[in-house]
Amino acid sequence: MKDLKHLIYFEGLLESANNELVQQAQKDGKLAMGYTCFHIPEPLLNVDNCFSVRLRAPNTGSIDIATYYMSNYTCEYARALTERAIEGGYQFLDAMIGVDACSMMNRAMEHFELLQVNSKPTFFVTHTDMPYKVTDYTLASYIKQMRLRVLDRMTEVYGVDTSDEAIRKAVKEHNEICKIISEIGEMRKADNPVITGYEFHILCLVTYCCPKYLIIDKLKETLEELKTRKPDEKPPFRARVAIVGSEIDDPGLTKLIEGCGALIVSDRFCFGSTPGREVFELSDDEDALTQVCRHYMQAAECARYISDEKVAQRRETSDRLAREYKADGIIYEQMKYCDYWGFERTLVAHVMTEDYGWPVLSVDRLYITQGSGQLRTRVQAFVESLEIKRIHKEEGKN
Amino acid sequence: MANTPKFPNPSFWKYKDHMDWSAQAKNLKEVAGICVDMAKEADWPAFGKHLLQGWKDFGNRAADEFNIVKAMSREEQIDLVLNGEKHLGRLYKAGSMATVRREWRGVRDTAYDFYEWGHNWVMLLTTFSKDLVPALNSMLYYRWMVSYFCCHSFMDKNVIGLRGRALRMHHELLFPVFRYVAENLVFLAKTDAKNGNCIDLNKKLVLIDEMTMGQIMAGFPDLLGIPHQLLPVFLVSELDQLTCVPYIDAVESYGLPSDTCPVPSSECGALVTDSLPHSGCCFISSSMPCDGSTMASSYYSRRFPDVPVFHLCFPVRYLDEETVQCGAEDIKACIKFVEEQTGAQWNWDAYFTAMTRFNKETDYELQKWEVNKTDYPQLIGPCYELYRKWNYEMDGGTDPRILKTCEKVNKLLMEAYQAKDEPWVGKMRHRAIVWSCPAHYYANFSNWAANCWGIDILVEMESLNFTKHLETSDKEEAMRDLARLYERMVMRRHTNGGYQNVVDELWKQCEDWRTDFVIMYQNVACKNMATLQGILDEQGRARNLHMIWIEHDLMDPRTVSRRTMRDKVSNYMQTVMQEQPVDASLVDFEDDVTW
């Protein structure tokens, strides 16, 4: 296929957390609100003169200092963020909105505080408590946390307008981005899609890491370009896969998987589009904060949600996405040392095979995976097994 | 206040079992087949040689000991007879599961120790005889049940080196824990669908996650609450550290990464291998204490899809009072769930009675802390630590018999304090605190550290929990207090809710207890603690504390053996402190398979 016009530009934006658009926004007088987790509703960090930056640590090399502080058998994403913070890579942030959803990420945020990694006098780190299940009282608690620990802090420190109107405006802008990404995402359902999983991942990532008002024009242009883009007559892919699991902010991973011949058609992981880039409309019957919080609780696919209905939802979502996007198999992945996804991946890999009949590749991986020969071998083997299955199916064998 | 009912409810023993005898016969046949195969595959000549060598070793050891005693002066011999032996490393034999013999503690204390040994046997036999067939039949289904046969070895090792009132207090504390285990083992066997299959008792049985505190059952005096995995996984691994190894292997073969905490890993492994009883009418799972444990509940639902589950989840940022109501609401929802599943009604009187008792037990606990903070600490060591954990977490005031134990122990405690007793006579050199996930039950570490190096561990992190009196009159506030208590369950109180709870708290406790040593247990799979390693180290050094980091992997001794754990302390004491051991026979010995 012909290269997307802005792909190299988008890739360039992902080379640094403090990319040119982040710098541009700060020059425009905007405040950068760092966060890491879907549990923090993104529109809340985009109210008034704020913009959200979902933190990544691109081009991570040594994480020795973070390893000294956090030991070597903990989440590499958490350690890479801590390392980058110590190096001064997040000096641009005006606030860090932490979630106490998983212990390692929480500790990373605590190190931001303890090691005073940001010298801005008004910089603050806030910690929020996250629910484990969706009920009336957990929603009430979640709303209270977002109000008291996030929005009120932003108002107290920076005088940010966090009113109902401000939240509604942020949701509207959020939905504009989501509409574009969703429309592009739908294109992956085609038998011969006009976009690869890698390209889609890049587009998705820039929407999480850049100020939305500065990226939207190029996204619109890319959407129009895709509408007329001609796919290769004979695509290089030998199988279609859905990815399900924990955080992937490294486009190198999607490149690695697609380099093995597996076209990624569905992205059910943190920093992916499901959930995170679905459009949600607010009604006028209820305050905006309640609706936003409810939506994020209901849409969440995080393995931390313990209740039976959420466990079932995660399995159903994986199955539905794989079917809708015509995947041949599912790759369940987890960041190494992630407890939530470690337990979830292990069990659900069996469940999806035994109960839903999906071929599943179950892997754990490091934060930076591009050079992983071991992972490449496993994906190649999986692609071959999917091919064999398809051949058997075509020949009428089981 | 309601009248205190008998505990456990006597009717629980009387419900009729519904054993499927043909299934039992089939299982027995299978087990017999395995035994025959083992007998066929056994190397009998080698076994005979091993046995013979054992007798020879016994003879040599007896001769050695005779010669040692013979070589002693008259004063030393009298001291040995009256006060017991001083070289405890002689009790261990490489490759042996049991110690070579029981400890000689002097005439009086050895006699008392044997009395307690018999006392425990009588209790065990009496309890098991209440429903003997399913209880014994459990051994044919579950390998962990067999490990309970070494419970007396556990008792012995936990009181090693203790004399006088300290020995008495430790036995007093260990007995109710043993009784609790015995009673619940019988109930589990009785209710297990493939064993006793007692339908009526199953209707009354609410299983709770072993990481969920038992206090919620205080409001249901007509029901039986048992922590499901406690006896088959957690507690038994403290008796025999090798018990859970097959479960860990099973779940890792199933696909679980080996970097996860061995506690939920073992629980899940036991579920994967169908090694937990299929009992109860519902299950209360939990998000506690940490991320790994949260996830174990979906393995439970996969194994037992017919058992309804309630997920009791508490806010993590528990110091934030704004979160308390959410916890209280979840408790209310849990109570409603239990009522719906069992038909029982929450009984406020019963709950308040039990919590009044729990508050008294907390007062007794605080008295122990006050004494231990002085220059004459009295009640230290693993029995006390285990009792505290069990009392706080599992009993929680529900068993009225426990107050008597508290009274008796605290009476002995005050007598010992007034007499300025030493728990390990003449051995105390250093005051220490244990922090992080403690492994001393597996390694018998507190006893060893005291006996070998004179390091007296005055308190451990897991004992230092919620000590505020729980509300016993206002119902709404009682729920909020219960939430506060649960949020501060063992381990969670420190490892969750912000670094202050485990870092700042440690320095505060070091000052309160005037400790010069911190035994920092480093569970290689505990992410909550591992992620603070650098901060703890930096701040500890800045305070001039001796911090000894001891890696371990709880119930998986293959990662770090007990011997390696001890070496860490010995190396520190020899190289940094330049000290000689109190008992050199304990510096290095092999106990890889010893109970």
Tell me whether A315 touches chain B (CB under 8 Å).
no
CATH of span B11-42+97-351: 3.40.50.11890
Per-domain boundaries in chain B: 11-42+97-351
Angle, in degrees to the nearest 10, between helices B164-191 and B382-390: 40
Closest CA of chain A from B285, distance in Å:
9
Q: Are residues A342 and B259, on separate chains, in Cβ contact within 8 Å?
A: yes
Average pLDDT of B468-484?
A: 98
Whether the pTM exceeds 0.80: the reply is: yes
Residue of B nearest to A350 (CA): B254
Closest CA to B297 of B393, B483, B338, B305: B305
Q: Cβ A137–B326 below 8 Å, yes or no?
A: yes
pLDDT at site A369: 77
A71 touches chain B (CB under 8 A): yes
Angstroms from A60 CA to nearest CA on chain B: 19
Question: In this complex, is the C-beta atom of A140 within 8 Å of any C-beta atom belonging to chain B?
Answer: yes
**Which of B169-178, B404-413, B432-441, B526-535 shows the lowest per-residue confidence on average (mean pLDDT)?**
B432-441
Q: Does B295 contact A340 at a Cβ distance shorter than 8 Å?
A: yes
The Cα B552–Cα B537 span in angstroms is: 17
Chain A positions in Cβ-Cβ contact with residue B524 (cut-off 8 Å) = 73
CB-based contact, A75 to chain B, within 8 Å = yes
The yes-or-no verdict on residue B2 having pLDDT over 90 is no
Sequential pLDDT tens for chain A (398 residues) = 899 999 999 999 999 999 999 999 999 999 999 999 999 999 999 999 999 999 999 999 999 999 999 999 999 999 999 999 999 999 999 999 999 999 999 999 999 999 999 999 999 999 999 999 999 999 999 999 999 999 999 999 999 999 999 999 999 999 999 999 999 999 999 999 999 999 999 999 999 999 999 999 999 999 999 999 999 999 999 999 999 999 999 999 999 999 999 999 999 999 999 999 999 999 999 999 999 999 999 999 999 999 999 999 999 999 999 999 999 999 999 999 999 999 999 999 999 999 999 999 999 999 987 678 999 999 999 999 999 999 998 888 65
CA–CA distance, A206 with A243 (Å, rounded to integer)? 19
Is residue A138 within 8 angstroms of chain B, CB to CB?
A: yes
A135 touching chain B per CB within 8 A = yes
Contact B298 A364 (CB under 8 A): no
Mean pLDDT for B454-464 is 94
Q: Are A245 and A341 in contact (CB under 8 A)?
A: yes
> How many CB pairs (< 8 A) connect A and B?
156
- Do A343 and B527 lie within an 8 Å CB cutoff? no
Q: What confidence score (pLDDT) does residue A397 get?
A: 66
Nearest CB partner across the interface for B531, out of A107, A347, A350: A107
Q: Which of B299, B330, B525 sits opposite A347 (nearest CB)?
A: B299
Give A 114-133 residues with CB within 8 A of chain B.
114, 127-133
Q: Other CB atoms closer than 10 Å to residue A326's CB: what's the count?
A: 15
Bridge partners (DSSP) of residue B403 are none
* Entry field: residues in chain B: 595
The CA distance from B206 to B284, in Å, is 8
Q: Cβ neighbours of residue B79 under 8 Å, at least 6 residues apart?
A: none
Interface with A, mutate which of B314, B316, B322, B522 (most A CBs under 10 A): B316
**Interchain pair A71, B531: CB under 8 A:** yes
Would the CB atoms of B255 and A100 count as touching at under 8 Å? no
Q: Is A353 on the interface with B (CB under 8 A)?
A: no
CB contact under 8 A, A346 and B256: yes
Q: In what order do the strands lie in the sheet with A262-269?
A: A262-269, A239-245, A329-335, A360-365
Q: Are A293 and A143 in contact, with CB atoms under 8 Å apart?
A: yes
Cβ separation B528–A78 shorter than 8 A = no
Please give the pLDDT value at position B3: 60
Q: What are phi and psi of B436, to 5 degrees?
A: 75, -175
At B422-443, the pLDDT tens digits run: 989 989 999 999 999 888 778 7
Q: Report the candidate in A198, A305, A303, A300 with the shortest Cα–Cα distance to residue A241.
A: A198
Tokens 């466990």 correspond to what residue? A311
